Amino acid sequence: MTATLSADPGFDPVVTIDGDDTSGILLLCDHASNRLPPRYGTLGLPASELERHIGYDIGAEAVTRGLAARLGAPALLTTYSRLLIDPNRGEDDPTLVMRLSDGAVVPGNARADAAERDRRIARFHRPYHDAIAAKVAAMAAGGRAPLVIAIHSFTPVWRGWPRPWHVGILWDADPRGAVPFIALLRRDDTLVVGDNEPYDGALKGDTLYRHATAHGYPHALVEIRQDLIAEECGAAAWADRLAPIIETLRRDPETERIERFGSRTGPVADEHAAGAQGETRR
């Protein structure tokens, strides 16, 4: 199974939601969709598999769109399933194209060789990251750091273990976005809020590492439990909950500054200066 750059006419890999760049907030949704370009069919999977968390982050698109509307902020979302290629991985990550995900063998990826991997990077993965790079650079041009917020969702049960968190905030080394975000969420004593739960936020080469950590922009990755946002009313309620928190973070002078805090994964290279089997994690 192969594709060329012209093989999927009309399938734009990125959706841009226009907003006011002067808001200083950029919303990202790496795993917004479970769609696949027609050429790839269903990657040999039953449609029911694509409806699971292995296909996309259930509810994350609706929350992102809700936040963009409430905040008047720009947002960038992918339009393809993470099973085609995972936009929240670096180009050299071995899990970029998954052959096995949460017990599901992905037939359409079994014979995806280096050439096919490169085609998917060029056609789907790279355009999303190019769009983010252009947007954060434009927003930071005046010297004010953009606050980058990525919206994800996680399964309520993993390997038979019910996950207790309603929401988790993931972060690496820069505390400016994440630490106050956690504190503000915890003011609601009905919520169980995870700090780097259910995953660790230090993942070299992921979207926030590449577009925020590497450039000194404040950021946070929000993980919401999928059963809470699978329906439209739940997604709207979470957008209502998160929007004022993000506005509060943006008003903090600490999030105005461009400052590099490094990374727990190792040295961080500024991309501009440099020339720029288990659960499907984040």
Each residue's pLDDT tens digit, 205-226: 999 999 999 999 999 999 999 9
User: Residues 248-258: what's their mean pLDDT?
Assistant: 97
CA angle 258, 125, 215 (to 5 degrees): 10
Distance CA 134, CA 139 (A): 9
Q: What is the DSSP letter of 146?
A: P
- What was the pLDDT predicted at 277? 37
- What was the pLDDT predicted at 58? 98
Residues comprising the chain, all counted: 282
pTM for the model: 0.92
Query: Given pLDDT bands bounded at 50, 70 and 90, which one contains residue 278?
Result: very low
Q: Cβ(82)–Cβ(31) under 8 Å?
A: yes
Of 120, 16, 101, the closest CA to residue 55 belongs to 101
Each residue's pLDDT tens digit, 99-129: 877 767 799 899 899 999 999 999 999 999 9
- What was the pLDDT predicted at 138? 97
- What was the pLDDT predicted at 282? 57
The domains located in the chain, with CATH, are 14-274 (3.40.630.40)
Distance CA 278, CA 268 (A): 27
